[in-house]
Amino acid sequence: MKKQGPKTSGWKLRAATSGLALLIVVADLAGKCPSLSQISEDANEQLRLTVLVYIYARIPEHDLARAKHVASRILQEAGVELAWVDCALSRPRAQLNPACAAPHAPTDIHLNIMPDLAEGPRVGGLAMGLAVATSPPNRGQFASISYARARKQLLEAPELTPGQLLGHGIAHEIGHLLLGTDSHSPTGLMSARWSSQELKLAAYSKLTFSDEQAAGICGDVRARMKAQKAQKSATAAMK
């Protein structure tokens, strides 16, 4: 789904077509990113993002935990660690958590888990998530996912649990934020519509980012971390 200006990206499931080749995405835990010594001034520095989670939907704890685990695994296989912070919805309670109260840093991702998403120009009838992706140097940080739509689409994915499907959807939307505009791919995790074969891969933890996508993700996270360091240095210099 393509829009002008700040881009929003949804994803859907697609019915299998006869003769469609089975896409096998091999996860390389050794890292699809270049080695840390090649990508960081500090060879011991791990690429990392913080996901600030705002839960508006009534979602069972086990589904939420599974979704976080799946999304973390997918991003880890691309070379990026995710740190999860559950943020309270009320402002007074949110202020109690420094991570939620502080201004968003470049390495922060704001994720809304919604009961549903209203259908409209930015969200198609079958889309489960929405990401406000932008082109560098402005980096997208806001994404939403619909728990109700995830559960509904389980009818087309009997091999998956709600948490598994939600986790893949979250990874897909984070992928849009890191890869920028027009980042759908013909097949694989970043496909706008997933086939039944791809859903089977998801059930077996084989639906991941491609090597090319992982390289782009690592490059974006690297740039975010660099921008965050620059912000901290500038703030310290003003004190």
Query: What is the count of structural domains for the chain?
Result: 1
Asked, for residue 237, whether it belongs to a domain, the answer is no
Contacts (Cβ under 8 Å, ≥6 apart) of 114:
56, 57, 144, 145, 146, 147
Asked, for residue 52, whether it belongs to a domain, the answer is yes
Asked, for residue 96, whether it belongs to a domain, the answer is yes
CA of residue 169 relative to chain centroid, distance: 7
Asked, for residue 33, whether it belongs to a domain, the answer is no
Range of the domain at 85: 7-12+42-230
Asked, for residue 35, whether it belongs to a domain, the answer is no
pLDDT in tens, 38-81: 444 554 579 999 999 999 999 999 999 999 999 999 999 999 99
| Residue that has been written with the tokens 């009818």 in this structure | 155
- Which neighbouring-strand residues pair with 112? 54, 144
pLDDT in tens, 173-230: 999 999 987 899 999 999 988 889 999 999 999 999 999 999 999 999 999 999 999 9
Asked, for residue 145, whether it belongs to a domain, the answer is yes
Asked, for residue 149, whether it belongs to a domain, the answer is yes
Dist CA 2 CA 230 (whole Å): 33
- Which neighbouring-strand residues pair with 12? 193
What does pTM read for this prediction?
0.82
Asked, for residue 90, whether it belongs to a domain, the answer is yes
In this structure, what CATH number is given to the domain that contains residue 172? 3.40.390
pLDDT in tens, 95-132: 678 888 888 899 999 999 999 876 655 555 667 788 88
